[in-house]
Every structure is written in C-alpha cells, then in structure tokens.
Chain A
Amino acid sequence: MSRKYLLAFVLLISVSSCDEGMKPAPFTGFSGVIRYKNWPPADSLRDLRIVAFRNFPPGSIFEEVLNGRAVVYPGLLDTFALPLFVDSMKYEVTAPTGQFRYIAVAQQFGPSLFTDWRAVGQYDLDTNLTVPSPIEIFADRQTKGVDINVDFHKLPPQPFSPQP
C-alpha cells in the first residue's frame, strides 16, 4: 500500500514540475544601457527622455510623437523622468513594430515642452555621427543592446527642428 502512495505522490510532483507558472508578459520594444559623462550643473538640467523616431532627421519631438512617428519614454506628460546624475542606467521602451531610424536621449533645456529640446546622446554603431544607426522592432521581441553614450561636453549633431 505504501508503494502505491509513493508512486502516486511521485507522479503528482512530476506532472506539476513540468510547468513553471507565470511568465513575463510579451514585450515588443527595445532596451539598452545609457552611460553618462560630464553632467552639467543641476540648474541647467530640466528633464531627460529617450526618443525613438521613425524618420531621420526628425521634426520637433512633440510633432513627431503626436503624429505617431516617434515613441518617447517616459511619456511627455509623465511626471517621472529618467534619473539624473547617475553613471549609467538600464532602460526598456515599449515600441511598435517596424524600423526606427534615430534613437536619442533628449534633454529639455528650457521651459517650453514643445520646443526646448536637444539631443545629448544617440544610438550609433559607427563613428560617423552624422548618420545614426537604425533599429528594427519585431512583434513580441525585445531588440536589445541599444546602448547610448551621453557626454554633456561633447553633444551629437542636433537634428531637431526647430534647433535650440
């Protein structure tokens, strides 16, 4: 009788051990690390956001986002922003499928949420800073390694219109 109990018990555990339970929700977007250098004084910093544009060069951030041609993280109306004065940070951004030709860290340098933005870092796999590297987003997949270096003493070319 004890053998039957033992067998039933082992079967029970074996069956249940095949399943691992809950999983992370499917994710479509991109992720990477932002590395910072030479932070400016606190009073010259307002906000930092990650922006992915469908087109390069883009128009203004606001215009591109409103027209569905850009993704911004955190959202423009979110009170939460990227942490300041850190050496580096990991990030993940949900984005629709397709190609994004320009990924940048944007800094709000003035009071206007609509116009006062500049790029302080961009995703680029080569040394030719005039043409940033594009990324491709696939459904239910995370495009990893979209790393961005930000050096506040050495800003990349400024593609936004209007320029600061």
Chain B
Amino acid sequence: MKLIPTIIVLAFFAAGNAVAQTGVIKGRVVSKTDSEALVGVNITVQGTLRGAASGATGEFTILKVPVGTHTLVFSLVGFNRETRSGILVKEGDTTTTSVELTLAPLQTEQVVVTASKREQSLQEVPVSISVMDAKDISYRNSTTVDDALRYVPGVNMTEYSVNIRGSSGYSRGAGSRVLMLVDGIPFLTGDTGELNFESIPVGEVERIEVVKGASSALYGSSALGGVINVITKSIGDEPQTRLRLYGGIYSAPSFEEWDWGGGDRFSDGQSLSHSRKFDKLGMSLFVSRLADDGYRQNDFKRRYNGFLKLHYELSAQEAISTTFNYMHQRRASFLYWKDLRHALIPPDGQQGDGVKSTRFFASSQYTNILSDVLSYNVKGIWFRNDWEDTIDEGANQSTSDVLRAEIQALWTPDKLNIVTFGIEGSYDNVRSSLFSKRSGAGFAAYVQDELQLFDDMKLTAGARFDSQDLDSLNSVSQVNPKLGVVVTPVQGTTVRGSIGFGFRAPAVAEAFTSTRISGLIIVPNPALKPEKSFSAEIGASQVLGDIALADVALFHSEFRDLIESGFVASGQGQFNNVTKARIQGAEVSIKSGFFKRNLLFDLGYTYVYPRDVTKNDILKYRPRHLAYASVLARFGFVSAGVDYRFISRLDRIDDELAQIVSNGAERGKTFVTDFRVSADLSHFGYPLSATLNINNAFQYNYVELIGNMMPPRSFVMVIEARL
C-alpha cells in the first residue's frame, strides 16, 4: 500500500537537481490542403517530455524547453506525421515555427503504443492492431468500452467476455484470454480476473488499441489472445470543460408474448469533465452517472464513476502522473430467461437477484528521460474490487486487492536498435465467501529489441519470463519468446509476420469458486494448470491510390490445457484443463475515404476455424464468420452514419446448460444495424453538438449467450457542450 507514496516522494527528490535554462517555442499548424487551422495536433519536443496540443486557431505554445537545438514532431489522426528539426531555442527567447500537415492515406501514420510498449507508427508493427478513436466512441454513444469493441474487426463479445479471433469463448466472468490495460496498466480484477469495463471513464478515452494475437512476450499472463489498451486523453494547455447528457428509450418488444408489462424503459446519463494546467501541474477530473431501466425484467443498473488524473512536470525530462479511479454500481442480475416465450423475464425464483460493486484504482507513474538514448519509467498500482450479491441461496461477498509495480526502460544504443526491457512484481489478496481467503504473487522480467535490419526491414525479437504462485496451486514459471518482422518493399506496401508463445495463469475464480447458483453447483479445482499457446500471423497492408487502405492477415494459434467451464461426472460445474485447441483463420479489412474524407467506408471480415482438437469438434461460443461495415458522411455541420455487423450462428454452446435453461439451445445469426445523425453547432459559434443514435434499428432479435436476448431497438439522444 505504501508503494505509490514512495514513488511520489522519490520523484520529488529526483526533481531537486533539475533546474535548467529554458526558452519557448510557439507556432501554428494548418492543413496543406485548404490552409485551415488544425485543432488538437499533438506536438512533442523529441527527447524530452515537453509538448503541447494546438488550440482552436491551430496555435500552440511549448514552455520551458531546454536551451539547444530540437526536433519537433507533429501528429494528428488522419494526417501524415511531420517532423521539423533544427529548432534553435535560446535562453528566455521565443522561437516561432509554422507547419503544414498533409492528409494521410487513412490510418497509415496512426501512432500506437501497445505493440512494443512505446510510440511507433502502425506501419512499423509486426502484429495486427485496430484503433478506435474518441470520435468513434462518442458517435456511437458507447457507455462502456465493451460497447465500443463490438465494432472492431475480429472482435466478438459474449456478454462481457472478449473474443479476439476465436481465442476466447464465454468464461462466466472468470478469467480472460485478453489483457486489458488503461494507459498501459493492467486493469483486471484480482479475484475473478475479468476485464473491468465498467470502471473505465469512457468520456476520457482518447483511443482504444486492440492488438490481435499472443502478446505475452511483453505483457505476460492473460495476453495470449490479445491486448486491449485504453489510452486516456492527455491534459491540454488550455482549460477545457465538457458536459455530456444523454437520454434514451427502448422500443417495445417485437412480440406480444415478450411484453412483460414493464411499460416504457428508459436510460439516461450525465458526465462532466474539466481539465487544465497550473504551470507544471496538469489535472483532469471526470465524473459521470448512468441509469438504465433495462429492457428486461430485473435488469436495471445504476452506476457512478469518478476519475482524477494529475500530471506534474518535474523538469523537461521528468514527469509524474497519478490517477485515481472510482466506480460504484448497483445492478440487477439477469442470468437467463424463463423460456423463449418469456424471453425478457427471468425464471420465477430469480426475481430480485442483484449485485452491488465498488471498485477503486490508484496508479502512479514516474518517467525520466535520462539522455537521448535512455529513458525509464516506474509504475505502482493498487486496485481494489469489492462486491456482494443477493443471488439465490444467501449473499456472496468478495474483496480483492491487487498491488503491482513495474520498472520499464527504453534504450536506443545506436540508430539500428531500440531495446525495451523491464521487471514487474504483483501481489493479489482475496477474501471471499465464494473463493475463501486466497493470495498470489508474481514476478516477471522482459526484454525486446527492434532491429532495423535493412532500410526496408525491421526485426522484433523478445522474451518474457514469468513466475506465478497462486495460493495452493503449483507454482509455475514460463518463458515466452516472440519474433516479428516488418518489410516495406515499396512506399505504401507493408508485409508483416510474427510468431510468439503465450500463457495464462488461472484466475482465483477459476480455481477456487465454490457456490450454488440457480440450482447449479460449482466446485473448485485446485489442480488447475496454466494455459499455454503458440501463435503465428502473416499479414500485408496496401495503400490504394490515397483513398483506401487494405489489410489482410492469416493467423494460426495452438492452445494447450485450455481452461473451460463444464460439468463433471457428478453433474457439478467446474473449470478444467480440458482442451487442446487449434484456431486458424483470415481477416480482411478495407478503410476508404472520398471527397476529402467527407465520405468514409470501413469494411472488415474475419473467418475463424476454432477446433477443439481433443474432441474433434468446434470450440464453444466461437462464431466462424464476423463481418462489419460502416459508412459515415459529412455534409457541413451535419454528419450521418450507419454501422452494420453480422455474426454467424454459434456452432457450439454449453450443451449441459442449454438443457437446464428452457429453450436454451435456441440461437441464430446476428444482423444488427445502427444509425446515427449528428449536428455540430460549433460551425455557428455554439460549442454544442447533438447526436441521435438508433441502435438495432431493424429490431433484430438475437442472443449472444444462452437465454439472453440482446437489446431491441433503442433511440438515444446525446447533447455535448464544450466550454
């Protein structure tokens, strides 16, 4: 618990010897196409932590830049990254520079940070990555990150379980084969090991990066299916306040039989954020409230989120960032329907079931750029998850604490190599009526080198050693190597390939759950072993005449000791290492933009062949076909868009559970179409925007999970004000 204050104190001591001569860099950024001012351009002084974002007139100011000659890097989504070298800063002087950015052929110059734990262009990365930015999230009024992920090619959601290219099925909230990070920091609960979607302040998200395929070589356990990194907004130089209000209503059920007499069902939410800088201190505060009646009986939720980010610049080379995140939620629990004729009400005995949870997360990160070739950061994290339910026979309760610390360094020994290395330690403590008292600890060390082998070829090689000790389970150690290559034979063409090993230690909930839920008895399995995987991918991307970017990937994964829930001979439920699996597939995506990007098309298709090699059958809860399409058109201050997604019928589900749930085997294909239209009144001088979303516009009735009908059509109106 004393980790974070210690880091803060260390950082302030480090600041004591950081007094230097400085000057100021000012300038303006415009579009080369039409000379219009560009807002929100990220400008950084290379080799330092100094930087700024351009304001409404395209102007920027970077204060306290060390005296000397510098290189500025300008980046903005949709534009080519630009560098301006030879910027001379003299003591007390102001240096002025202006830059024109050119429209990039779509996302070719998108900067990502997840693949190698450092900033790099999307085209330098040897694995498949999809990026969603804040606009994508805001347009769709996604209230949680899992809502937003439903539009990412190759990603499929089964309730809250994320499945990237067939890696995961449905885990009942226990364990995850996808690691979720917030600003690079793991965000999994300590007891259930599930992705903590509800705590993420969606209004503060700058972008979401989804790495597809094994990433355990840098990130360790849980990353064998992929990584989702949620990047929060950086604090701008100018004060900014945003107010966001929304209200929605669900359409009546499609059939009279499904009308359970709930009347009109509403949802609403409010969020307020403010960010500003006080000299060296930047702060960003976000609070939000969400209330959702739910479209089913016993399915409401009420949620409150708070998020505070503090960033203190100790010097041009040193900074410390601290975040606090709080979430309180009360929700009813809808496990499954009564039957298909009563698809929106739970079985008679499950009325009134619910869960109350409180989550608190604090992290602190100290960054120091020691020289042009070496920098490091130190992170400390505390994550508490506290919940209690009123499901079935008596209340369950669980409290877990996770402590983590990491030291990561970036070393550039010469112009050809970039080396990332670090060590990590973690400690989990769980007190629970479901899992009893459990504790675990982990240690890891990793190193990765990115070698510019030739002008047009970059090699990435790395490995990570993990040692995990979870209560009474056998201790495990594992080394996961990784190799990747990126070749750029001609401008606009990139060919990539990667192979890597992954592993996942069982979560406390998978090994030690002991409970009875709605007649199902779940028993612990103290003999559970970690899952292991091998993944390979080859892919290529091609710019098509500056209007389109096509990407194709072939992937292959082998899994051993896959942990899946099921029923043992006694009829009791248990998590077991049951499966040897092989998942193969292909993915194609095309992004295109016409009329100066005022008309955008995105298409994505993923084919997955997920085989249970042990049983010679298809793996459970993995659809074989996923297709996404979206179009967005802008006409002056109005924009309109359509999102469409298709998910093929699940070949296999839990056969045993389908027997218990009435009509549990009923399922089909998924065709969902969402419409949205938005007006941006800032064109008329009012800092307001209004968006109408019509989700599931054709009221398609489908299930993702046994006995769980997904939402019908809903209308949601969003008003956003920027002050």
Interface residues, chain A, CB within 8 Å of chain B? 1-2, 5-6, 9, 12-13, 16-17, 19-25, 27, 80, 90, 92
Contact = CB atoms under 8 A, between A and B. Distances in A.
Contacts of A22: 340, 343, 666-668, 701-703, 709
Given A22-B709, A27-B257, A1 B547 contact: yes
B715 interface: no
Contacts of B254: 20, 23
A21 B258 CA distance: 14
B349 interface: yes
B640 to A, nearest CB: 12
A21 B671 contact: yes
B666 to A, nearest CB: 6
Given A12-B629, A16-B644, A24 B599 contact: no
A6 B341 contact: no
Contact of B642 (A13, A19, A27): A13
Interface string B330-353: 000000000111010000110000
B642 A9 contact: yes
Given A6-B631, A92-B341, A16 B547 contact: no
A55 to B, nearest CB: 28
B644 A12 contact: yes
A23 B254 CA distance: 8
Given A13-B673, A16-B671, A16-B673, A21 B701 contact: yes
Interface in B246-272: 254-255, 257-258, 261
A90 B259 CA distance: 12
What are the 7 tightest A-B residue pairs by CB atom distance, in nearest-first order? A21-B701, A16-B671, A24-B257, A25-B340, A17-B698, A2-B594, A22-B701
A76 B698 CA distance: 42
Contact of A9 (B631, B666, B703, B709): B631
Contacts of A90: 261
A12 B630 CA distance: 11
A82 to B, nearest CB: 11
Interface residues of B, number: 37
A19 B644 contact: no
Q: Is the interface of A mostly helix, strand, loop or mixed?
A: mixed
Q: Is the interface of B mostly helix, strand, loop or mixed?
A: mixed
A92 B699 CA distance: 25
Contacts of A20: 254, 698-701
B365 interface: no
A23 B594 contact: no
A13 B631 CA distance: 12
A60 to B, nearest CB: 27
Most buried by B among A2, A19, A24: A24
A17 B673 contact: yes
B601 interface: yes
Nearest to A22: B701
Interface in B230-248: none
A5 B544 CA distance: 15
B350 to A, nearest CB: 11
Contact of B666 (A13, A25, A27, A92): A25
A6 B641 CA distance: 12
23 contacts: A2-B594, A2-B599, A5-B601, A9-B644, A13-B673, A16-B644, A16-B671, A16-B673, A16-B698, A17-B673, A17-B698, A20-B698, A20-B701, A21-B671, A21-B701, A22-B340, A22-B343, A22-B702, A24-B257, A24-B340, A27-B257, A27-B341, A90-B261
Nearest to A27: B341
A24 B663 CA distance: 10
A35 B592 CA distance: 62
A17 B701 CA distance: 11
B644 to A, nearest CB: 6
A57 B668 CA distance: 46
A128 B349 CA distance: 39
Contacts of B698: 16-17, 20
B411 interface: no
A20 B670 CA distance: 10
A19 B254 CA distance: 12
B451 to A, nearest CB: 39
A15 to B, nearest CB: 9
B607 interface: no
B609 interface: no
B646 interface: yes
Nearest to B671: A16
B280 to A, nearest CB: 48
Nearest to B701: A21
Contact of B663 (A21, A25, A92): A25
Contacts of A27: 257, 341
Contact of B341 (A5, A25, A80): A25
A21 B700 CA distance: 5
